[in-house]
Amino acid sequence: MSYTEIERQWTTRLRRRLVKVLPPEKALPDTQPAYVASWIYVFGVTTMCALAVVILSGCVLALRGPMWWHDSPEGHFVNSLHLWSVEIFFFAMVVHLWGKYFMAAWRGGRSLTWVTGAVTFLVSIVAAFTGYLSQTNFDSQWISTQAKDAINATGGGAYFNLLNFGQMLMWHIVLLPIAAVLLTALHVLLVRKKGVVPPFEDEVKAKP
List the x/- string, 71-100, binding to another protein by CB under 8 A. ----------------x---x--xx--xx-
Tell the smallest beta-carbon distance from residue 87 to another protein (Å): 8
SS (HEC) of the chain: CCHHHHHHCHHHHHHHHHHHHCCHHHHCCCCCCHHHCCHHHCHHHHHHHHHHHHHHHHHHHHHHCCCHHHHCHHHHHHHHHHHHHHHHHHHHHHHHHHHHHHCCCCCCCCHHHHHHHHHHHHHHHHHHHHHHHCCCCHHHHHHHHHHHHHHHHHCCCCCCCCCCHHHHHHHHHHHHHHHHHHHHHHHHHHHHHHCCCCCHHHHHHHCC
Nearer of residues 95 and 151 to another protein, judged by Cβ: 95
Tell the smallest beta-carbon distance from residue 30 to another protein (Å): 13
Tell the smallest beta-carbon distance from residue 95 to another protein (Å): 5
Tell the smallest beta-carbon distance from residue 47 to another protein (Å): 13
Q: Could you say which residues in the range 21-50 bind another protein, by CB under 8 A?
A: 34, 37-40, 42-43
Nearer of residues 75 and 177 to another protein, judged by Cβ: 75
Site for another protein, rule CB under 8 A: 34, 37-40, 42-43, 87, 91, 94-95, 98-99
